[in-house]
Amino acid sequence: MQATRLLQTGDIRTVEVPVPQPGPGEILIKVEASGICGTDRHLFKGEFPSVPGKILGHEFSGIIVDSGNTGMAEATRVTCDPNTWCGACVQCLRGRVNLCQNNVATGIQRDGGFAEYCAFPASKAVALPSDLDPLHGAFCEPLACTLHGMDTGAAQPGERVLVIGGGVIGLMAVQIARLAGAEVTLLTRGAEKQSLGRDIGAHHAVGDAEALRDRWPVGADLVVECAGVPATVAMAPSLTRTGGRIVVLGVLPQGQQVPIEPFDLLFREIQMHYSFLNPFTHARAAEMIATGKISVAPLISRTITLDQTADAVASPPPKGEVRAIVVPG
């Protein structure tokens, strides 16, 4: 089969490899769709820790073709929660499974979904409706991560929520905040993404901080940073109202530093939170996509083949792209 491997930092290739054989407790999935995430590009650049030689792809779904002795039904469409917590370390025992000291992340520490087939732990597979668009299953993982961040921010009805960044995470955060009953503004530079943000639920969309300050002079109750850019993380406090809160969902490169003024955070009692992975949210994300509560079709910018995947990961996304989906085969 074909698969796209990150051999080492800066060296990613689509190669021929054997079809994996599922081990105990694993199923074999024929991958239908796998999203290219910003984290994949961080991995390529060496900005996020990984194990060399692994098949990338942690946002994927597909059809079970071999269920082994797991009890799952073959031909079931599933979405794949890529994080396998150990359940025994101090963080797992505290319920903080996303901080598991022994987590094994599919597509980072074990082979992932940029492949025709993937052997995957049955316990981390969540069933999807058979009539769901195959491409939509690839959005369950990013939605699960977004849900964790939005749970942390806890938007309330009538609050003002600012979402910074018009990528997949930002556009999902817009929809979640709208469902919570908040007034939502999307801040993103591109006119196309501003328009898309309004189409999927943002009450307002602006291109810079000054436009946001003109609309909300006292700031937002909740600011959700989804761009993963030092400048937007640094400016988030200035866009937050006194007594408000910030959640950083965007992933910055390892080692990147951002200037923050603790005096301002202290005297205005700004809460600044960070959100990592998807603890206990993947099944909820699958249900929200399956029932259409979250719209993902407008977020698909293009589909590509495995032959095109290495170049797509190694290159910056085209202007205006929200999500490229790898369709194996």
Walk across the sheet containing 11-16 and list its strands.
11-16, 2-8, 54-55
User: What's the rounded Cα separation, in Å, for the pair 36 and 56?
Assistant: 9
Q: Which residues have a Cβ under 8 Å from the Cβ of 298 and sit 6 or more positions away?
A: 171, 196, 199, 200, 322
- Return the structure tokens found at 19: 């079809």
Answer yes or no: pTM beyond 0.85: yes
First and final C-alpha spacing in the chain: 9
User: What is residue 74's DSSP assignment?
Assistant: T
Among residues 39, 146, 185, 309, which one is catalytic?
Answer: 39
Q: Among the options 14, 42, 146, 185, which is catalytic?
A: 42
98-108 pLDDT, tens digit each: 999 999 999 99
| CA atoms of 156 and 13, how far apart (whole Å) | 46
Task: Determine the average pLDDT of the residues in 207-217.
Answer: 97
Active site residue 42: yes
10 Å Cβ neighbour count for 329? Answer: 10
Domains belonging to the chain, first-starting first, are 2-131+296-326 (3.90.180.10), 144-274 (3.40.50.720)
Output the CA angle 292-296-299, nearest 5 degrees.
160
**How far is residue 9 from each of residues 4, 6, 305, measured CA to CA in Å?**
14, 7, 22
237-250 pLDDT per residue, tens:
999 999 999 999 99
* C-alpha span between 250 and 230 (Å, rounded): 10
In the prediction, which pLDDT does 74 show? 98
Residue 329 reports pLDDT greater than 90: no
Q: Is 136 a catalytic residue?
A: no
Token pair for residue 30?
Answer: 């024929």
The tally of CA atoms less than 13 A away on the side-chain side of residue 56 is 32
- Residue 192 CA to residue 195 CA, distance in Å, equals 5
CA distance 205 to 194: 5
- On the question of pLDDT at 196 being above 90, the answer is yes
DSSP letter, residue 21: P
The pLDDT tens digits for 2-16 are 999 999 999 999 999
Q: Per-residue pLDDT for 254 more than 90?
A: no
